[in-house]
Chain A
Amino acid sequence: MTASIRTLLGATALCATGMAAAAETTLTIATVNNGDMIRMQGLAGDFTAKHPDIKLEWVTLEENVLRQRVTQDIATKGGQFDVMTIGTYEVPIWAKQDWLEPLDGLSDDYDAGDILPAIAGGLSIDGTLYAAPFYGESSMVMYRKDLMEKAGMEMPEAPTWDDIAKAAEAMTDVSAGIYGICLRGKAGWGENMAFLTAAANSFGARWFDMDWKPQFDTEQWKTTLTTYLDLMGKYGPPGASSNGFNENLALFQSGKCGMWIDATVAASFVTNPNDSTVADQVGFALAPDAGLGKRGNWLWAWTLGIPAGTDAPEAAKTFIEWATSKDYLALVAEKEGWANVPPGTRTSLYENPEYLEAAPFAEMTLKSMEAADPTNPTVDPVPYTGVQFVAIPEFQGIGTAVGQQFSAALAGQITADQALQNAQTLTEREMKRGGYIK
């Protein structure tokens, strides 16, 4: 009898253990290595405390490796990840392929209507959100207030390209190792072409007309490229054709750039006195325009999406709701201060006086993000979405190939005309191959 009871109890215990194990869901999250994402990993204990039945596994990768890795997995339905960190470039393309689970049925507490409209627009298809933004960024002008003052100049809040050229000239002092302007020169669709495509929008240029015909043979693209080459040739640092975000960050932080037009996320780096020698001398302005109604700033967000076919869509959605919620922002503020909350996703953040006080660049970040419209990015109409990219699968390859031409022009290996002609030829070839044009 005793033996039977023991057996029964043992079996019950085993069943209970088995059920507990079965009830536990493990989410594998692919994410990019940046400060905000790493901070989220550190704070994930809050999520697992609230959801003890969900275990989190992290795969952190560099941006380009991550992009290749998650694309390969989702295209082959490998099922390695339950939550993927993807950019605003991937979301509309993947959603159209039915590769992403729609994020419908989010709770009222989540308040999806609070997501910045420009960001939400780029992540939605027919009004349905396919990924939730974790942090967003635009681009803006970061400049040295002390050098501008020394030159007797003042940077307008919304400068034109002429203002930028004058300021760059005034701040350049090669003998002191100070270059008036630092811009991206390294080839790549997410490198120099992010800057140049956004800048081209402000000059009235566009990648394609409404019939998908490449537009590099237009006067607007010529103006864009010659303005860029002139600025960098006269006032830029040497070897600029190999400078990307990090190289320019290092130059600006060490006091070698008068001005830097790049991601708004850089604002927190250049104003951090631990890393920057010019932390207390940095001013901010909107990206320049040419009076045509569009500014030369981009719009980007790192978002969290759920690959179609995951074993745990509900747990993944629960996690995404936690990571992109207003409560998460409050959690970061409580643990690490308001200056460290992931920016650029929620309207309410920019109405929070504590945040506005802690982040002096917040207002300019919001204005920059509001100045970019991914669904209507250019002066003339275009058949694509995306401000600094064209949301078609072919763009990664074409964008990088065109970027190589423009980088070569910056290095002085070819002229601006040659670079534009080569860009036109190669883009036409790829668009024909893709079946967009005949």
Chain B
Amino acid sequence: MARAVTTQRKALNTVIAWGVGILIFFPILWTILTSFKTEAEAIADPPLWFNFHWTLENYVTVQERSNYFRHFWNSVVISVGSTLIGLAIAVPAAWAMAFVPGKRTKDVLMWMLSTKMLPPVGVLVPLYLIFRNLGLLDTRTGLVFVLTMINLPIIIWMLYTYFKEIPNDILEAARMDGAGLRDEVVHVLLPMAVPGMASTVLLNIILAWNEAFWTLNLTAAKAAPLTAFIASYSSPEGLFYAKLSAASTMAIAPILIMGWFSQKQLVRGLTFGAVK
């Protein structure tokens, strides 16, 4: 009887999990389907699911109109660059807070997180003026800098959480064996925190890849990443859903593929220490 209940519950859980999964994935699926329709089919009422004339016309139009690879390369440089610089700053910061906490460590962590609570538009004009004076408008350098700063609190928090899970005794043992600070971090701490670091890196790349407020506001023609590429296909006058869907599919495809291949690391990292 108990086994039957467990099986029923498992089946129910599976159904719910699939339901939630499909619900979350549905907008992406619909975007991909719409990208293969004509503009008239994209707005058809009732909506067309699979019984439409599949066409690659929208992809051809988007490729002709925009320089996809320039936007793609800008996205890669900005997201990977900001992640690597963020990591270089966050590892020592998280180490210090996890293993050598001071009286105010918790306050510092909360303060860092509080910077995420300010609406970005509140600092748009001051930052725009600073960027203008430093010649950083419409440069990848400027965007790498701003995205590093924006995502740094999240990276530090995630690494801090993972580092806290690593027993201090192991680090102490390394120290007793004569390891210096650098060896302790590079050869002992980091290998043990690889799953957590991997998920931090992946999550940060995804966040930076999808960031649209700053990338739209601080770029023009040269440093514009894929978010600006998508934005150029929305229009208040005229049908645009199919072309916009094609542009969106092209923009999310790289990060979707990366997420697909690294999902094991992502899940491992995100659940690291969750179950004891």
Contacts and interface: CB of A to CB of B under 8 A. Distances in A.
B124 A59 contact: no
B221 A57 contact: yes
Contacts of A72: 124-125, 128, 217
A78 B130 CA distance: 10
Contact of B234 (A33, A59, A244, A275): A33
B235 A62 contact: yes
Interface in B227-259: 228, 231-240
A79 B65 contact: no
Interface stretch (B28-36, B38-46, B260-268): B38-46
Contact of A76 (B43, B45, B129): B129
Nearest to B64: A42
A147 B239 CA distance: 25
Given A38-B65, A78-B137, A275-B40, A28 B221 contact: yes
Nearest to B132: A78
B40 A274 contact: yes
A392 interface: no
A400 B118 CA distance: 25
A58 B228 CA distance: 12
A275 B239 contact: yes
A246 B239 contact: yes
Given A59-B221, A274-B40, A275-B239, A79 B132 contact: yes
Interface residues of A, number: 40
Contacts of A61: 216, 228, 231-232
Interface in A50-70: 57-65, 69
Contacts of B40: 253, 274-275
A406 interface: no
A80 interface: yes
Given A78-B132, A80-B137, A63 B220 contact: no
Contacts of B216: 61, 65, 69
B143 to A, nearest CB: 14
Interface residues of B, number: 31
B10 interface: no
A80 B129 contact: no
B224 A250 contact: no
A269 B238 contact: yes
A432 interface: no
Contacts of A57: 220-222
A59 B238 contact: no
A30 interface: yes
Interface string B109-142: 0000000000000001100110010000110000
A263 B64 CA distance: 28
Contacts of A249: 238-239
Contacts of A77: 132
Contacts of A190: 236
B235 A69 contact: no
Contacts of A65: 216, 231, 234
Contacts of B129: 76
Contacts of A34: 235, 237-238
Given A33-B240, A59-B221, A65-B216, A78 B234 contact: no
A269 B235 CA distance: 14
Interface string A73-93: 000111111000000000000
Q: Which of B128, B222, B232 has the most CB of A within 10 A?
A: B232
B160 to A, nearest CB: 36
A435 interface: no
B217 A69 contact: yes
Interface in A90-119: none
B235 A76 contact: no
B220 A81 contact: yes
Contact of B236 (A41, A63, A80): A63
A254 B39 CA distance: 12
A78 B135 CA distance: 10
A245 B232 contact: no
Contact of B128 (A41, A78, A263): A78
Nearest to B234: A62
A62 B238 contact: no
A77 B124 CA distance: 14
A76 B222 contact: no
A77 B132 CA distance: 8
A63 B236 CA distance: 7
Contacts of A64: 236
A20 to B, nearest CB: 21
Interface of A: 28, 30, 32-35, 38, 41-42, 57-65, 69, 72, 76-81, 190, 244-246, 249-250, 253-254, 263, 265-266, 269, 274-275
25 contacts: A30-B220, A41-B65, A57-B220, A57-B222, A59-B228, A62-B231, A62-B234, A62-B235, A62-B236, A63-B236, A63-B237, A69-B217, A72-B128, A78-B128, A79-B132, A79-B137, A80-B137, A80-B138, A81-B220, A245-B236, A246-B236, A246-B237, A254-B44, A266-B237, A275-B239
Please provide the 6 A-B residue pairs with the shortest distance between their CB atoms, ordered closest to farther.
A57-B221, A62-B234, A60-B232, A250-B43, A80-B220, A33-B235
Given A79-B132, A266-B237, 8 more contacts: A41-B65, A59-B228, A72-B124, A72-B125, A76-B129, A76-B132, A80-B137, A246-B236
